[in-house]
A and B are shown apart, each in its own frame.
Chain A
Amino acid sequence: MKINEVVSLEFLAQMINGLSLGSIYALIALGYTMVYGICKMLNFAHGDVIMVGAYMLSVAMGMLGLPPVLAILLSMVVCACLGVTIERIAYKPLRNASPLAVLITAIGVSYFLQSSALLIFGSTQRKVESAINVSSVQLGELTIGGNALVTLLLTIVLMTGLTWFINHTMTGKAMLAVSEDKGAAQLMGVNVNRTIATTFLIGSALAAVAGVLFISSYGFVGPYTGAMPGIKAFVAAVLGGIGSVPGAMLGGILLGLIESLSKAYISTQLADAIVFGVLIVVLLVKPTGLLGKKRTEKV
């Protein structure tokens, strides 16, 4: 085998790693961006929903002995309910409050979820068996791991589904309408509170899937498991243009690729710095993010 081939094979493998990691970031980023679009708030507790999803998986499979598919569904349902409850209890009363109050509340919710996990499950990380039992696929000389394959396929399905839902159902269009103009949406008969709750529900269910996928490759879950992927996904949402659904998808994938390629070819230690560096550069050149639009107000 020639050197060139080994290098390009290695490169392809890293690309697939990056795509799969990026898919997870993208799934989480969707929750950030949808909630921002509709409520103009940064839900910093969103990362911790991933952690709850991962714990749920471990409980459902390890303690309840459920098969993986049921365990994933249970985890999605629990996270969806959690997201809606958080919105109802913590954010809804602050609908007309200052953005700072909402932001601080979101950070408070984040600590609350982490501390609750700490109380219930303790501080040691638990081993979680992978929910994905798919053997790797051989493509010529390239091996694609089962985890990566399932992550990629599931993400494609979910993103296609979400895009279809937003653009082709009246609930989806109501979400777009509310994110643009709550008052005008109300005049059309849209129940704004219910639309916001739906947004939290979808975002949190996607976060649960992301949590399951993340933990299936990582293998351990602890109270702070959600923090880093949460922040990375937030960066992805901002990079793609916060408020933009295609932006979150693009931002997530790009971030995963950059992280994975930096780790492979530049430096493992510097990878995160490079990721955040890219964000700074993009924001300097295009402050609204890659696909973000600047809202122009017509009078």
Chain B
Amino acid sequence: MALLRVENLQVYYGVIQAVKGISFEVNQGEIVALIGANGAGKTTVLHTVTGLVPAKAGSITFNGVDLMKTPAHKIVSMGMAHVPEGRRIFQELTVYENLQMGAFTRRDKAEIAESLEMVYAHFPRLEERKKQIAGTLSGGEQQMLAIGRALMSKPSIILMDEPSMGLSPLFVSEIFAIIQEINKAGTTVLIVEQNAKKVLSIADRAYVLETGNISMSGNAQDLMNDDAVKKAYLGE
């Protein structure tokens, strides 16, 4: 059974239909990518899954639970974390406080400390800067913090929205390496990216979104070799 299953999802902003009945699934342990151009509806899909945007129709099932009937603030404690587009860290809190917020729904102090250590192991720079106000971090460090904050909830699946946005090529490689590490450690990843080349190189499977519809899907390796994908998204 799929860990996350989205069926015939339809989302509207006012009268404009942003997502036109898409279906996809993510299995335990996979890295699944949603790729597509600006405005294809990738971010909207993630926002709908974690309850920030209401869906008009369709179904979202996570671990057998209907997420459409779950309030947004209850989703993280079910094991789903979301690294939103633009990072959206709490600028006025310190790095440490941001990580604390990531573990907001958890109560066991020893387990939280364990997660904190794990996050610091992935991102030593966050430990160095734990007392710094998050708004003063560089873009790459903020992205690390956003990912670290999501890991603090000890998720079974992590949704990532454009983790490479606005970062230098060096940082992009670092972030992608860490995403692979996180996945190897047992966390399922659903990732939205415009950097198709990069994301297809780490993903198991991918779906191509075009103006609210899924136009193609399959094994990441196959998609990377597909002529249409090459032409439209890989710039070859």
Contact = CB atoms under 8 A, between A and B. Distances in A.
Interface string A160-187: 0000000000100110110011011111
A244 to B, nearest CB: 10
B146 to A, nearest CB: 9
A190 B81 CA distance: 13
A171 to B, nearest CB: 10
Interface string B136-163: 0001001000000100010000000000
Contacts of B74: 189
B90 A180 contact: yes
B41 interface: no
A173 B72 contact: no
B100 A173 contact: yes
Given A181-B90, A187-B84, A189-B153, A174 B101 contact: yes
Contacts of A190: 73, 101, 104
Interface residues of B, number: 32
B116 to A, nearest CB: 15
A189 B79 CA distance: 11
B29 interface: no
A201 B120 CA distance: 37
Interface residues of A, number: 20
Interface string B6-36: 0000000000000000000000000000000
Contacts, number: 69
A207 B69 CA distance: 38
Interface string B67-91: 0000111111100011010101111
A192 B90 contact: no
Given A173-B100, A177-B101, A192-B73, A183 B92 contact: no
Given A174-B104, A190-B104, A299-B166, A184 B88 contact: yes
A191 interface: yes
A16 B106 CA distance: 47
Contacts of A184: 84, 88-90
B50 interface: yes
B76 A188 contact: yes
Interface in A177-216: 177, 180-181, 183-192
Nearest to B88: A184
A185 B97 CA distance: 13
Interface string B22-57: 000000000000000000000000000011100000
A191 B88 CA distance: 17
Residue of A176, A181, A184, A299 with most chain B CB atoms under a 10 A cut-off:
A184
Contacts of B82: 187
Contacts of A191: 71, 73
B105 interface: yes
A186 B92 contact: no
A186 B51 contact: yes
Contacts of B172: none
A183 B73 contact: no
Contact of A186 (B72, B77, B100, B166): B72
Interface of B: 50-52, 71-77, 81-82, 84, 86, 88-93, 97, 100-102, 104-105, 135, 139, 142, 149, 153, 166
Interface of A: 170, 173-174, 176-177, 180-181, 183-192, 293, 298-299
